[in-house]
């Protein structure tokens, strides 16, 4: 898709379709279209009971440079709307545009809107993953003109560039999640990291094979991988810009398929478990564009990639594993595997990287989805400054998070009778919290934030911003954080 800016007046635009966003004062706002077109819009809009409210649209044929007009409502005062709301509005309108099958369109922007957010919504809402369809019936939008006031051309150009980079990184992550687990196995995930490092001279890859992983003492990670025929890969990507003073580690859960292991998942719960590497995909998405954007902080990306499979070699409930930091873990349920692999990665981050902050993204618990639903990520952390930075980045990115507690009173729930820790809670409730408390045991005093992305990482139905499948959640949030840092 080609994205360009035009500073021409709205009624001089030549295109198949013009999208105009209006509020409930729409009758006044459409006067910029000129008397003739306005009159036509009023007639059609009134006949369709259009009020200019969110998600309402009216399509009108015109005899002007733009052959069709799509008037789309937005709700309330645009200054109070969040980036999330804005992107939902734009993406919903783009859904209507797709229905009209027009290929060349122009989009008007309201003064309060962030151009970057608009570009992201346009690009992300038109993403498809159809390489496995024998017939491609999608009519892709080819050209989008964004209408900008002349004085703001440079600002708009910057916003467009950032929007394109952030969207491409997000779609990169979506592609990785959407590939079947047979294709996107640990080896291919590692190869993807290798390709990223190969294309960017300021990114370096260190790849640890099974032997080296064992040498590091990452036995919790190895325990999870031992039931699979695919060898585990520990991936370390390193980006170091000149003059950087701070170092951030980003960790992504990289279970390329989660069967549950011997604590096998029921069939239905397993259907979408190729998404269990969505955290890893987000980290790779970030690295795919990190040299293109303005990141002045040193960034290390860590992924323990393996499959969680049942077999004669698989980890058993009751087995005890010793993590890299020396803590021992009684495995009571092999389906709580993410925290086992992360225990070692977090230990590695603390012991080997000595960073200023660690952020992990993990499709960690079904309990998180019970608590916050499909749109919102649970945020846990041990450092208020880092927590606030993440909340700010999430708001700016339009990727919602909710701060969750780490109560010490729940710690007894993860104490084992026979080892230091157990990998499941003794209680029935608060499973996302006890999982986060478990992770906290491996970060020591290093500032750390854990994002449980189990809900938003994978769309189980088509949504305005993402079709069924991987959403690339976390990429835009992390890119914001790293550019803000």
For 480, residues 6+ apart whose C-beta sits below 8 A from its C-beta are 393, 394, 396, 397
Residue with smaller CB distance to ligand BES, 309 or 367: 367
Q: Does the protein bind Zn ion through residue 307 (CB under 5 A)?
A: no
With contacts defined by CB under 5 A, name the span among 178-186, 257-265, 393-401, 454-462 that binds Zn ion.
257-265
The candidate with the shortest Cα–Cα distance to 81, out of 28, 117, 48, 56, is 117
Work out whether 367 is an interface residue with ligand BES (CB under 6 A): yes
Contacting residue, 56, 120, 179, 276, with ligand BES by CB under 6 A: 276
| Closest among 256, 447, 478, 459 to 375, alpha carbons compared | 459
> How far is Cα 218 from Cα 343, in angstroms, rounded to an integer?
9
- Judge contact between 479 and 169, C-beta under 8 A: yes
6 CB-contact burial (10 Å; exposed 0-12 / middle 13-18 / buried 19+): middle
The whole-angstrom separation of Cα 329 and Cα 319 is 8
Point out which span in 8-16, 64-72, 334-342, 410-418 binds ligand BES (CB under 6 A).
Answer: 334-342
The option from Zn ion, ligand BES, none interacting with 454 (CB < 5 to 8 A, set by class) reads ligand BES
State the residue for tokens 């009159």.
39
> Taking the CA of residue 212 as centre, how many other CA atoms within 13 Å lie in the half-sphere pointing to its CB?
11
Could you tell me which stretch among 27-35, 134-142, 363-371, 391-399 binds ligand BES (CB under 6 A)? 363-371
The residue (of 275 and 459) whose beta carbon lies closer to Zn ion is: 275
Minimum CB distance to ligand BES smaller for 121 or for 439: 439
102, 339, 391, 476: the active-site residue: 339
366 contact choice in Zn ion, ligand BES, none (CB below 5 to 8 Å, kind-dependent) = ligand BES
Please, are residues 117 and 87 in contact by the beta-carbon 8 Å criterion?
Answer: yes
Choose one: 146-154, 298-306, 335-343, 375-383; the region binding ligand BES (CB under 6 A): 335-343
> Does 338 contact ligand BES by CB under 6 A?
yes
258 lies in the binding site for Zn ion (CB under 5 A): yes
- Nearest distance in Å: CB 337, Zn ion: 5
DSSP per-residue string spanning 82-106: -HHHHHHHHHHHHHHHHHHT-SEEE
Please state whether beta strands 247-258 and 377-381 pair in parallel, antiparallel, or not at all (unpaired).
unpaired
Binding segment (CB under 5 A) for Zn ion, from list 118-126, 248-256, 344-352, 379-387:
248-256
Query: Any catalytic annotation for residue 480?
Result: no
Residue 298 in contact with ligand BES, rule: CB under 6 A: no
Which of 288, 365, 440, 446 binds ligand BES (CB under 6 A)? It is: 365
Among residue numbers 393 through 422, which ones bind ligand BES (CB under 6 A)?
none
Angle between helices 115-125 and 83-100 (to 10 degrees): 40
Judged by CB under 5 A, does residue 276 bind Zn ion?
yes
Residue entry with tokens 């919790």: 220
State yes or no: is 174 an active-site residue. Answer: no
Q: DSSP label at 244?
A: -
Angle in degrees, CA 218, 250, 465, rounded to 5: 125
Q: Which is nearer to ligand BES, 188 or 264 (CB)?
A: 264
* Residue 197 partner contact from Zn ion, ligand BES, none using kind-dependent CB cut-offs of 5 to 8 Å: none
Residues within window 316-355 making contact with Zn ion, judged by CB under 5 A: 335, 337-338
Applying CB under 6 A, among 56, 120, 179, 258 the residue interacting with ligand BES is 258
Instruction: Rule CB under 6 A: choose which of 424, 446, 463, 471 binds ligand BES.
Output: 424
SS3 450: strand
Site size toward ligand BES (CB under 6 A) is 15
Residue 176: in which H helix or E strand, if any?
Answer: helix 153-178
Q: Which uninterrupted H or E stretch holds 144?
A: strand 143-147
Contacts with Zn ion, residue ranges (CB under 5 A): 255, 258, 276, 335, 337-338
Contacts with ligand BES, residue ranges (CB under 6 A): 258, 276, 333, 335-338, 363-367, 424, 431, 454
What is the set of active-site residues? 265, 339
């Amino acid at each position: 898709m080609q994205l360009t800016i035009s500073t021409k007046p709205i009624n001089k635009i030549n295109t198949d379709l013009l999208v105009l966003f209006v509020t409930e004062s729409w009758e006044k706002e459409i006067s910029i279209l000129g008397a003739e077109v306005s009159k036509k819009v009023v007639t059609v809009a009134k006949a369709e009971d259009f009020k200019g409210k969110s998600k309402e649209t009216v399509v009108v044929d015109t005899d002007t440079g733009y052959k069709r007009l799509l008037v789309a409502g937005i709700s309330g005062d645009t200054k109070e709307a969040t980036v999330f709301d804005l992107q939902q509005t734009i993406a919903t309108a783009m859904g209507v545009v797709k229905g009209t099958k027009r290929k060349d369109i122009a989009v008007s922007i309201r003064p309060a809107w962030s151009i970057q957010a608009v570009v992201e919504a346009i690009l992300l809402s038109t993403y498809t993953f159809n390489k496995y369809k024998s017939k491609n019936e999608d009519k892709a939008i080819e050209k989008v003109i964004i209408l900008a006031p002349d004085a703001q051309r440079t600002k708009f150009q910057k916003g467009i560039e950032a929007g394109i980079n952030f969207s491409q990184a997000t779609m990169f992550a979506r592609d990785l999640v959407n590939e079947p687990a047979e294709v996107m196995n640990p080896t291919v995930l590692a190869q993807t990291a290798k390709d990223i490092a190969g294309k960017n001279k300021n990114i370096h890859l260190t790849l640890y094979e099974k032997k080296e992983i064992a040498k590091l003492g990452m036995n919790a990670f190895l325990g999870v991988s031992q039931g699979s025929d695919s060898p585990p890969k520990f991936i370390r990507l390193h980006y170091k810009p000149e003059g950087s003073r701070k170092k951030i580690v980003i960790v992504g859960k990289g279970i390329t398929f989660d069967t549950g292991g011997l604590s096998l998942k029921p069939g239905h719960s397993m259907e979408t478990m190729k998404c269990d590497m969505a955290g890893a995909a987000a980290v790779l998405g970030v690295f795919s564009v990190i040299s293109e954007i303005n990141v002045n902080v040193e960034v290390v990306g860590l992924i323990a990639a393996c499959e969680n499979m049942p077999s004669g070699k698989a980890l058993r409930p009751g087995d005890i594993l010793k993590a890299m930091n020396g803590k021992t873990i009684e495995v009571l349920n092999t389906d709580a595997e993410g925290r086992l692999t992360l225990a070692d990665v977090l230990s590695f981050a603390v012991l080997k990287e000595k960073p200023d902050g660690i952020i992990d993204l993990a499709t960690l618990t079904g309990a998180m989805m019970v608590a916050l639903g499909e749109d919102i990520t649970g945020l846990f952390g041990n450092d208020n400054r880092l927590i606030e930075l993440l909340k700010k980045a999430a708001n700016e990115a339009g990727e919602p998070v909710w701060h969750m507690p780490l109560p010490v009173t729940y710690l007894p729930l993860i104490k084992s009778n026979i080892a230091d820790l157990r990998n499941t809670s003794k209680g029935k409730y608060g499973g996302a919290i006890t999982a986060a408390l478990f992770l906290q045991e491996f970060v020591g005093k290093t500032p750390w934030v854990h994002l449980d992305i189990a809900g938003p990482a994978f769309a189980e139905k088509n949504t305005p911003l993402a079709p069924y499948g991987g959403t690339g959640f976390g990429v835009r949030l992390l890119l914001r954080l790293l550019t803000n840092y």
